[in-house]
A = this chain, B = another copy of it.
């Protein structure tokens, strides 16, 4: 049982030709019912398994797709990937996961790497839109479908699956206003990314729509890290007019903010209300559970995969660019419920 059995082996055994066997196995119409059954039967007996590599070489399809995320040890991305897998595995695809760790060089490197592995498509969440578009050109030229999820860049002809970040931010901010907050800080993030620009815009609009003053000084940008949340919060807690609400575009900075607020001896939600973004699991199981905006990541993954499948199966037709936008859901917990 050392060598794998090929279609030649089974052809020899049946006094047939490899071509016939191939056809029978692939349910070609022009093959007799008899031989089809016979072939499939003996294929089973001989433990035949299709050589993916050979098929790939012949067809130009590798049945691998690349997924690029900033990192995968966040529940959000891990869940998106899970959704993608659920949709793709049954179709015989495999998923190659790459992480960029928010480094532009890795982003470029990963795409080239995947291209080199001859993936049939790339599903990605970009880390940085300042990156020049050259990398995407190579995907374009090779006709490799590219689909963005969550963190996209607006590109002609490229599909994407995102959530309505504006709406999520607007709802969260309005919720804070409803709780009586008058001076609401926004912990933002790299606004070269659409999602953070949109959350910023939603926050701003909610303030304006409800007669609150918008103050640029109450918006602070940082990385999505606990420590950053602490550092920033420390600053504005020492302001003259102390804020009484925080809308953070990240659960991690929200957590940092909460820690710092407590360290200052202030009460949540009595003194300050806090809402985060992403609905990471820990927001639920903290003693002081954290309100957050859920992004239905599994659904997002599934949809992304579906869009990919459509594109890859329609290659002949015109590329139908699709922009799917999901509706986020605010989950209200202790950190903002007075």
Contacts and interface: CB of A to CB of B under 8 A. Distances in A.
Interface stretch (A8-16, A112-120, A159-167, A323-331): A112-120
Interface in A145-192: none
A54 interface: yes
A113 B94 contact: yes
Interface in A257-283: 259, 262, 282
Interface stretch (A29-37, A72-80, A241-249): A72-80
A130 to B, nearest CB: 24
Interface residues of A, number: 46
A82 interface: yes
A79 B85 contact: no
Given A99-B82, A285-B255, A53 B62 contact: yes
Contacts of A97: 95, 97
A49 interface: yes
A332 interface: no
B51 A118 contact: yes
A57 interface: yes
A318 interface: no
A239 interface: no
A118 B52 contact: yes
Given A1-B141, A73-B75, A73-B78, A54 B57 contact: yes
Contacts of A54: 57
Given A85-B99, A96-B96, 18 more contacts: A2-B141, A53-B56, A53-B118, A71-B78, A72-B72, A72-B78, A73-B73, A73-B78, A73-B79, A78-B78, A82-B99, A94-B114, A95-B96, A95-B97, A226-B285, A259-B285, A262-B287, A287-B287
